[in-house]
A and B are shown apart, each in its own frame.
Chain A
Amino acid sequence: GIQVEQSPPDLILQEGANSTLRCNFSDSVNNLQWFHQNPWGQLINLFYIPSGTKQNGRLSATTVATERYSLLYISSSQTTDSGVYFCAPGGGFQKLVFGTGTRLLVSP
Chain B
Amino acid sequence: ETGVTQTPRHLVMGMTNKKSLKCEQHLGHNAMYWYKQSAKKPLELMFVYSLEERVENNSVPSRFSPECPNSSHLFLHLHTLQPEDSALYLCASSQFLDQPQHFGDGTRLSIL
| B20 in contact (CB, < 8 A) | no
Using a Cβ–Cβ cut-off of 8 Å, how many residues does chain A contribute to the interface with B? 24
Binds A, one of B11-19, B61-69, B98-106: B98-106
Residues of B within 8 A of A95 (CB): 45, 48, 56, 58
| B50 in contact (CB, < 8 A) | yes
Range class of the B interface residue count: 20 to 34
Ranked nearest first, the 10 interchain pairs of A and B with the lowest CB-CB distance are: A43-B103, A48-B100, A98-B43, A93-B97, A93-B98, A98-B42, A94-B97, A94-B48, A31-B98, A45-B100
The answer to whether B98 and A45 have CB atoms under 8 Å apart is no
Residue of B41, B55, B103, B105 touching A94 (CB-CB under 8 A): B55
Please give the distance in Å from B40's CB to the nearest CB on chain A: 8
Mark contacts of B31-69 with chain A using CB atoms, 8 A cut-off: 1 yes-contact digit, 0 otherwise. 100000000011111001010000110100000000000
The answer to whether B105 and A42 have CB atoms under 8 Å apart is yes
| B21 in contact (CB, < 8 A) | no
Mark contacts of B70-88 with chain A using CB atoms, 8 A cut-off: 1 yes-contact digit, 0 otherwise. 0000000000000000001
The CA of A30 and the CA of B97, in the complex, are separated in Å by 11
The answer to whether A86 and B31 have CB atoms under 8 Å apart is no
Residues of B within 8 A of A41 (CB): 88, 105-106, 108
Please give the distance in Å from A66's CB to the nearest CB on chain B: 19
The answer to whether A101 and B50 have CB atoms under 8 Å apart is no
Residues of A within 8 A of B103 (CB): 35, 42-45
Q: Which residue of A has the minimal Cβ distance to B43?
A: A98
The answer to whether B56 and A101 have CB atoms under 8 Å apart is no
